Structure 1
Amino acid sequence: MEGSSTNGQVSTVQFGGENKVLVIGAGSTGLALAQGLKKARIPYVVYERDENATRKRNWSMGLHWAVPALQYLIPDELLARIQGTQTDPNVPTKDADQLPFINGQTGELIGEIKSDKFYRLRRDKIRALLLEGLDVRWGKAISDLIYSTDGRKITARFADGTEDTGSLLIASDGLHSTVRTLLVGSEKAKVTPIDFATAMCFTKHSRDRALFLRAKPHHPLYQVAPHPNGYFGWLSLHDGDDPDHPENWTFYHYISFREPRNVTNDRSNAEHVAHQKELARQFTDPFKSVFEWMPDDHPVWYGKLRQWDPSEPEHKWDDHDGRVTLAGDAAHPMTFQRGQGFNHAIMDSFLLCKGIESFWNSGDFSSEQRAAAITDYENEMIPRGGEEVRLSEANSIAMHDWEKVMQSPSMKKGMHVSHQAARIMDY
């Protein structure tokens, strides 16, 4: 074998032989791909660095134009239960929806983003659904990649000293992808912050307050509020599983703000809360109240908005004749205020599954067929993902500039997929 290696004794673990797909990362991208591979009877193993399925952080994700891609990947019995993975499974999903944009200062409706069928999925619930029936190996942090000299195999080496070999490896190991680092180097693999940051808040409230936060004219699940002073507010229901007890509902909210990318924010948790409350006093309700009602010592999650553009020339990686590639946040992490990341991730999984099927089920395991399939995937994914990374950044910038809000990509393009991507999914 060629390639770098780690010192010490290595234990070789073979799950299903060497003719299989190694999927690195048990996030939604990797799990959706694994479901598609299983459905197509293609051998696979998912490796995840976490010790179990429980993750410290949770959030919600919008699924809209990529619904057909997910339909292709997962079995009908799982698809039939997707309504239950929403932030509020009791609110019927419409065939068409719109995301209201209000003036954060006055409450006036300034526009609506149109969408086809729109699922607001809770991350922990959709992951639990996608995990069902899959072969996942927990506590496996990848540390190295080794390529066979005959061009046919790839070996994943893990931090615990074990390794496994397959025909190809798909890295869906997230924002700070280890595989991306192995492919392009630590400096080039780093995500780039942009000049905005926020603190994510997840709160519960009394029955009366919870009902107020969802009262008309507000959308029952989510609303968005750009502010003339250059802030961006978000409020959504995160957990509405218990319809009869609003005091058990959890709300997700934040106000993002300008912060130069090279500034280190060393606020304490209490200072982050105080800062969010200070910003919220400039907003109308329900934004003003949801922050005011938050305890001063309530834990929040600070972060800069970050991205990585796969189409930049210096980010080009060697896929070693189709033996390794990136997907989802490992390939194109983007800012979240356009709501596109999950859809592009599912699109990646769909295209990879279709590409692998194209040579696997024909019995042609030649390096040439595999390389052609992965090249086709990368030739579509890289420009698509790169364009969305740039659009999402432009959208985040516009959302913090009152004069540009109505010209933002969200307002002008809505939630719809490009015609090219729509044709690809028209299987």
Structure 2
Amino acid sequence: MDPNHHDSGHSKVLIIGAGCTGLALAHGLNQAAIPHVVYERDHQDAPRKRDWNMGLHWAAPTLQSLIPGSLFSRIQTAQVDPHTPTKDLEQLRFINGKTGAILGLAETEKFYRFKRSKIRALLTEGIQVQWGKSISSITYSDDGMAVTAHFADGSQDTGSILVGADGPHSATRGILVGEERARCTPIDYAATMCFNKLPRDKARFLRSDPHHPLFQCAPNPVGTFAWLGLHDAPDPEDPESWVFFHYISFYEPRDSISTKTPREHIQHQKELAKEYADPFKSAFEWLADDNTTAWYGKMQHWDPGDPDHGWDNRGGRATLAGDAAHPMTFQRGQGLNHAITDASKLCAAIAGIWRHEGAMTIEAKANAMKSYEDEMIKRGGEEVRLGERNTQMLHDWDKVLQSPVLKKGLKQGV
């Protein structure tokens, strides 16, 4: 056998993480008939402690190109309100939190708002996932051909390429760059994510005119920023089944460590909400003090463009994608869009070097992965830095109107 080629038994892609990035990549590899295996740390039926929702806009056509048409035709079912059709042109309202007056509108085409657990469940269809597999180490063959993932349960698997797509606190990233350098960097802001069900009249009020039925946000002259949106609407005729998601983000020094209890975090959000007009004020006022679904989070990111964050991909055998590669603050709504873009570009890179007989040259693989990483690191790193700048500006009233998301909308790179 030519020593410059893989053994066919090792010619598969190992995907670590069954989130949106890993699943989208798996679908793309399916279409290209490239063998792969998806490994996920969590067990299939394990209840997740946290859920959230997220936006997809400029990368929606990219997702459509990766997954089967039968799945994309059902993409509406994964939205926070599957009963409200996605508009061709959507406007995200920015409201003066203090007065309720509209500050501006960020326009975007086809703004999908997904409940994370629902879009993940949809993307899991048709993908074989090995559940309960937590990666513990990675080893490489001496001949430059193969990579082996070792899991905490003692099992292992060997392939040609390993992709870490295991989220913002990626264990794969920790292995590639070291635990210390892999840690996300906190920034000077935090928020408590609140989820709530309400009586019929109160639920309808939060979605009634002039309030947006799905989402709206509000910077406030006092230096905070609020979001109010729908998280789930299983029955359009039963407002008491609706779940709302809202938070107020606030300045908190990056090196401070919160010692508040969950109840104290909720009380803090309620105090902040007193500076807001409706519907934000009422949404927090109606939140029970002992709500068990609320969770506090310090905003943080990891810049792949930082010189200290580089990793050795071992001749193209190990790389990162999505939040594992560039976790970012969420107030520009870009995380999922860049994750899907990563999946598409990485799939194209792999497909370009794959051979029908299940072999690829070492040099071709190294070059293809370097090209993927160069573009991804530049694009993702720029977005990480822009995201922090955007978050800072949304909490500085003198700069609110210059915020990238308000000034130029939700397009890529602006």
Which category of TM-score, normalised to the shorter sequence, fits these structures? over 0.9
Q: 1:390 corresponds to which residue?
A: 385
Rounded to whole Å, the distance in 1 between the matches of 2:9 and 2:284 is 54
What residue is the counterpart of 1:341 in the other structure?
Answer: 335
1:41 and 2:33 matched: yes
| 2:203 aligned with 1:171 | no
Q: 2:84 aligns with which of 77, 80, 91?
A: 91
Matched, 1:20 2:15: no
Q: CA deviation at 1:336?
A: 0.4
Give the alignment of 1:260-299 within 5 angstroms.
260-299=253-292
C-alpha offsets along residues 142-187 of structure 1, whole Å, 9 cap, x if unaligned?
Answer: 0000000010100000011110000000000111111111111111
Partner of 1:34, secondary structure, is: helix
Q: How does 1:45-124 map to 2 (within 5 A)?
A: 45-52=37-44, 54-124=47-117
Question: What are the Cα deviations for residues 345-382 of structure 1, in whole angstroms up to 9, with x where unaligned?
Answer: 00000001111111114555111111111111111100
SS of corresponding position for 1:149: coil
Alignment partners' CA distance in 2, 1:403 and 1:162: 55
Q: Find the aligned partners of 1:417 and 1:257 in 2 and give their Cα distance.
A: 26
Per the alignment, residue 250 of structure 1 pairs with 243
Stretches (4+) displaced over 4 A: 361-364
- Residue 29 of structure 2 corresponds to residue 32 of structure 1: no
Superposed displacement of residue 263, structure 1: 0.8
Matching residue's letter, 1:204:
K
TM-score of the superposition, structure 1-length normalised? Answer: 0.93
Counterpart-to-counterpart distance in 1, 2:35 and 2:195: 39
Deviation at 1:17, TM superposition (A): 3.9
Structure-2-length-normalised TM-score:
0.96
CA contact (8 A) 2:382 2:413 kept: no
Give the CA deviation at 1:56: 2.1
Q: Which residue pairs with 1:6 in the alignment? A: none
- Residue identity in the other structure for 2:393: A
Amino acid at match of 1:390: R
Asked if 1:128 corresponds to 2:128, the answer is no
* 2:350 aligned partner: 356
Pairwise CA distance, 1:412 = 2.4
Gaps of 5+ in 1: 1-15, 420-427
Task: Note the alpha carbon deviations across 1:359-418, whole angstroms, 9 max, x for none.
Answer: 114555111111111111111100100000001000100010011111011122311124
What are the equivalent positions in structure 2 for 1:313-352 lying under 5 Å apart? 313-352=307-346
Measured against aligned partners, the alpha-carbon deviations of 1:37-91 in whole angstroms (never above 9, x if no partner) come to: 1121110000011111542211111000001210111000001000111000111
Would the aligned equivalents of 1:104 and 1:228 in 2 still touch at CA under 8 Å? yes
* Shift, 1:241, TM fit: 2.0
Partner secondary structure for residue 200 of structure 1 = strand
What is the aligned residue count? 404
Matches within 5 A, 1:3-18: 17-18=9-10
Contact 1:116 1:416 in 2 (8 A): no
Q: How far apart are residue 206 of structure 1 and its match?
A: 0.4
Q: Tell me the percent identity.
A: 58
Q: Structure 2: which 5+ runs fail to align? A: 1-7
The answer to whether the 8 A contact 1:204-1:250 is kept is yes
Root-mean-square deviation (CA), in Å?
1.2
Three-state SS of the structure 2 residue aligned to 1:106 is: coil
CA distance in 2, matches of 1:416, 1:198: 25
How many Å apart are 1:269 and its aligned residue? 1.0
Q: CA–CA distance in 2 between the matches of 1:48 and 1:254?
A: 29
DSSP 3-state at the match of 1:45? strand
Give how far 1:212 is off: 0.1
Q: Which residue of structure 1 aligns with residue 5 of structure 2?
A: none
Partners of 2:148 and 2:157 within 8 A in 1: yes
The answer on whether the counterparts of 1:103 and 1:225 sit within 8 Å (CA) in structure 2 is yes
1:137 aligns with 2:130: yes
SS at match of 1:403: helix
Structure 2: how far apart are the matches of 1:56 and 1:125? 15
SS in 2 for 1:294: coil
The one-letter code of the counterpart of 1:178 is: A
Corresponding position of 1:310: 304
One-letter code aligned to 1:19: S
